[in-house]
Structure 1
């Protein structure tokens, strides 16, 4: 695993997993939220985000955390592994609420400084409707890439998969 995508519903734990995988595999981790958002929750432009991602995916080794469907085609083409946290929406909503409670008013480690965690009703509804829209679009983008997708349906499956990976960073020349 040299070029890894971690995808799934918001609140599934993509950023937490990405940090751990990055350490285990000695891969540089790139959180798309950090690439996209500016302080004060100002969204960067699509072209700016794509340019940043193009530079990253041109490299030999990376891990990118996040869905951002408009950028997924290019990332999928270069990825050798896609870890898909295909978790139930109810679990993601619970984790999202827990994340808001934990970080409320503070910036998460995987987010741009100056973007404090907050409750956003529209974002909550987006997650509630994951199976009706975003999931379908994500699944469509994965067509043709099934051989590189590791689909994990719950945290227990993730723990089992992680237990088979090396616990220490691999040495790369």
Structure 2
């Protein structure tokens, strides 16, 4: 594992797992949210965003966490490993709510400074229906890639996988 993509529903813990993997494997981590969002939740130019990702993917090692459909194909072509956090809607929704409370009125560590944590009904709906609407599309894409696919379906399964990995 040298070029790792971490995907999954909002609230699944992609950034947390990316940081843990970075510590275990000594590979730099890049959070797509931090690359895309400018202070005040202003979107980056799509081409600028794509170029940032392309520059990162030219490095020998990287961990990229986040979904961003607009660059998914590009990232799937370049990675050697995909970790798909395929958690239940209840886990992801409760974690998103907890994160909102934890980082109220401030930016979380994996986000651009000046993007205070927020939670709105559209995002909650996206999380709630992720497994019904988005996960099948993700699975279809994963079935077409040559990368190693790791699907983790619960926080406990993920914790065990990370513990096993760190013991090597």
TM superposition score category, shorter chain reference:
over 0.9
Partner of 1:46: 46
**1:29 and 2:29 aligned:** yes
- Paired residue secondary structure (2:165): coil
The answer as to whether partners of 2:10 and 2:96 remain within 8 angstroms in 1 is yes
Please report how far the alpha carbon of residue 136 of structure 1 lies from its aligned counterpart in structure 2 after TM superposition: 2.4
Do the aligned partners of residues 6 and 117 (structure 1) sit closer, same or farther apart at CA in structure 2, a change above 3 Å counting? same
Q: Please, which runs of 5 or more residues in structure 2 have no aligned partner?
A: none
Give the CA RMSD over aligned residues. Answer: 1.4
After TM superposition, the score normalised by the length of structure 1 is 0.92
Partner of 2:96: 96
Matches within 5 A, 1:16-165: 16-145=16-145, 148-165=148-165
The answer as to whether partners of 2:80 and 2:147 remain within 8 angstroms in 1 is no
Partner of 2:14: 14
Question: What CA deviation, in whole Å up to 9, does each residue of 1:13-67 have, x standing for no partner?
Answer: 0000001101111111000000000000011122111111011111110000001
Q: Structure 1 stretch 49-58 or stretch 142-151: which is displaced more? A: 142-151
Please report how far the alpha carbon of residue 76 of structure 1 lies from its aligned counterpart in structure 2 after TM superposition: 1.0
Distance 1:147 1:74 in 2: 13
- Paired residue secondary structure (1:60): coil
The answer as to whether partners of 1:11 and 1:92 remain within 8 angstroms in 2 is yes
Question: Which aligned segments of 4 or more residues in structure 1 are displaced greater than 6 angstroms?
Answer: none
Partner of 1:171: none
Count of aligned residue pairs for this structure pair: 168
Question: What CA deviation, in whole Å up to 9, does each residue of 1:85-121 have, x standing for no partner?
Answer: 1101111000000000100111000000000012212
Please report how far the alpha carbon of residue 140 of structure 1 lies from its aligned counterpart in structure 2 after TM superposition: 2.2
